[in-house]
Amino acid sequence: MFDIVVRGGVLYDGTGAPPHRADLGIRGDSIEAIDRLEGVEAGRVIDATGLAVAPGFIDTHAHSDVMLLAEPEHAPKLRQGVTTEVLGQDGMSFAPLSPANLQHFRRYLAGAYGNPDIDWSWASVAEFRSRFDGTVAINTAYLVPHGTIRLEVLGMRDAPLVGPALREAQALVATGMEQGAAGLSTGLSYFPGSYSDTDELVELCRTVAARGGVYVSHIRTVFRGRPFDPVEEALEIGRRSGVAVHYSHFRTDPTTAGHVSELMAPIDAARGAGMDVTLDVYPYPSGSGFGFTELPAWVHEGTVDEIKARLSDPETRRRIFRDLQDQRARRAGPPVESAYSHLPSPRNRELIGLTFAEAARQRGATADELLCDLLVEEDLEVGRVQVPPTLDIWEQMDRDIMELFSRPYYTVGSDSIPVGERPHPRAYGCFPRLLGRMRRQYGGISLEALVNRGTLAAAERFGLKDRGVLAPGKAADVVVFDPATLCDRATYDEPCAYPVGIEYVLVNGRVAVERGEPTGVLAGRAIP
């Protein structure tokens, strides 16, 4: 007798093979049979007639981290069919850290991760991962964050990671991987990770390669004020260390729209030469982040209170404004406009949804002055969403994204930040947008191929051996959806709208979404 039979559906098994009609027999937390199972006894039968049945979707790049602990039902992702997220992204997360450094990062990263009222008492990767085991709705994998390691070893300062400090950092990376992390992530546009040089990253990645992990790179375009080839840097790190390389949210932008072949040329050449290189991307033309990432490097050094003192001091502010003007003058392409997405204080919430320029006019200040004011008032907890480009560029970027997903080494990474009243819509709509709306609108890639990019391709990249495929003996993470109606509803103006078309989601054999609604089941595990 099976606990659950999913009957009558069309199976997209995650491999990219053509779909076929079959039933799933589930016992406990595993798939036990895939066959015609009419008449077989089961504790429960889910009627999937006319629907697609696929492995639960794996989000290879998410920033849920502590907000998942605060809001464990995680409805925005569950209702997209997501059953696993890879956390610890962009070199920024919360383990391994000593208590003092944990409290520093809690405040410093609050604009992107929030500052929830939870028990902040872990130290190691193992302790942090254990918080997600059996307590949240989805599975989680974890990457050792490079910036976190740097903070723990050197503090928040621009200093070389060499000698004993490097050996200490390597030991922390090794221990993190031995405690279940899948690799190392970097956020080379963020601090303190951006203080690092290529040699440092090579040495850390030797440790990762020796343990079969992956190097996940949020690339940088400027290093110490000089133009920089970030794609080549990641490839150099892979060549010199022997580590597998994965690029985060790699796509065209408004200045390169329509030029996929040129963008991908160095990566295609590296793959052709035998390098293990993969990538992820989200199906949107702009991103989001926290409010002060573009402030000059020297502003970020020290404690949060020291940072706030610089932002408050009139003479230091003038230096900040001059440096910001210099940075903008050196930047190629048109400026990217942002809007405020997260300001927790009641007196500032009227600015949420306004662009930096609109908010500044409302407050009678320049955009830079207001940003500094808000960072001080909000204890750095300021979030932003980039304004999307014009519709013609947006449509070309959408076409580019579909072309990128035609490559079998791309995975789906939402880069979602589930914080604030006006988050980026990718937090609520990423997977249905790609597999529903964009597939139907642009074509060029089959549903089975897109399911593969969101399941088995992701599982193989991050070593999730029992996930990402419908097969006997594999974990019973399953999504049942209607390919004809699957669609996102979240927009930049109304981002907190749930998608349509997702009927059932099973996590480790338990029904977490039923007829489109979360059940409250918290069956997620810390994997692999």
491 Rama class: left (phi>0) / alpha (psi -120 to 50) / beta: beta
Q: Which amino acid is at 329?
A: A
Sequence letter at residue 470: L
Q: Is the pLDDT of residue 336 over 90?
A: no
- For residues 206 and 311, give the distance between their C-alpha atoms in angstroms, rounded to a whole number: 39
Domain identity same for 142 and 236: yes
- Same-domain status, 116 and 243: yes
Question: Is 312 inside a domain boundary?
Answer: yes
Confidence band, pLDDT 50/70/90 cuts, at residue 39? confident
Q: What is the pLDDT of residues 281-316, one digit of tens each?
A: 999 999 999 988 889 999 999 999 999 999 999 999
Per-residue pLDDT at 331 exceeds 90: no
Looking at residue 335, its pLDDT comes to: 77
Lowest model confidence (mean pLDDT) among 107-111, 213-217, 226-230, 267-271? 226-230
59 belongs to a structural domain = yes
Of 356, 371, 386, which residue constitutes the final position of a domain? 386
Coil/strand/helix, residue 308? helix
pLDDT higher than 90, residue 175: yes
- Residue 221 has a pLDDT of 72
Count up the domains in the chain and report the number.
2
Note whether residue 63 is domain-resident: yes
Does residue 161 lie within any of the structural domains?
yes
Q: What is the mean pLDDT of residues 325-352?
A: 89
Furthest-apart CA pair in the chain: how many Å?
79
Domain boundary (323, 352, 386) is at 386
Element containing residue 246 per DSSP (H, E): strand 244-247
Task: Specify if 29 maps to a domain.
Answer: no
Query: What are the angstrom distances between the C-alpha of 390 and each of 355, 403, 488?
Result: 16, 20, 20
31 inside domain: no
Structure tokens at 443: 């074509």
Q: Assess if residue 71 is contained within a domain.
A: yes
Calculate mean pLDDT across residues 169-179: 98
Residues 342 and 398 in one domain: no
| Other beta carbons less than 10 A from residue 485's beta carbon | 13
Span 212-221, average pLDDT: 93
Band of the pLDDT at 225, cuts 50, 70, 90?
A: low
Rounded Cα–Cα distance for residues 147 and 158 (Å):
12
219 and 340 belong to one structural domain: no
Share above pLDDT 70 across residues of the chain, in percent, rounded to a whole number? 98
Same domain, 193 and 276: yes
- The one-letter code for the residue type at 198 is T
Does the pLDDT value for residue 94 go beyond 90? yes
For residue 495, pLDDT over 80 is answered with: yes
Axis crossing angle, helix 198-210 with helix 230-241, rounded to the nearest 10: 40
Where b means 16+ CB within 10 Å and e means fewer, 405-441 reads bebebbbbbbbbbbbbebbbbbbbbbbbbbbbbbbee
> Is 139 in the same domain as 264?
yes
**Cβ atoms of 479 and 451 closer than 8 Å:** no
Q: How far is CA 514 from the centre of its chain?
A: 26
Residue 257 pLDDT greater than 90, yes or no: yes
179 and 100 within one domain: yes
Instruction: Report whether pLDDT(416) > 70.
Output: yes
In a domain, 21, yes or no: no
Alpha carbon 289 to chain centroid distance? 11
Q: Is the pLDDT of residue 98 over 70?
A: yes
> What's the whole-number average pLDDT of the chain?
96
My answer on whether 234 and 145 are in the same domain is yes
The answer to whether residues 330 and 238 belong to one domain is no
| Structure token digits, residue 255 | 């200045």
Region 186-213: mean pLDDT is 96
Q: Does 162 lie in the same domain as 110?
A: yes
Among residues 386, 419, 440, the one where a domain terminates is 386
CB 414 within 8 A of CB 86: no
Q: What CATH number is associated with residue 394?
A: 3.20.20.140
Average pLDDT over residues 424-435: 98
DSSP state for residue 437 in the 8-state scheme: I
Residues 301 and 276 in one domain: no
Output the DSSP codes for 487-504. Answer: B----SSS-----BSEEE
Structural domain harbouring 374:
291-386
Task: Give the pLDDT of residue 222.
Answer: 66
Q: State whether 398 and 489 are in the same domain.
A: yes
Q: Are 506 and 445 in contact (CB under 8 A)?
A: no
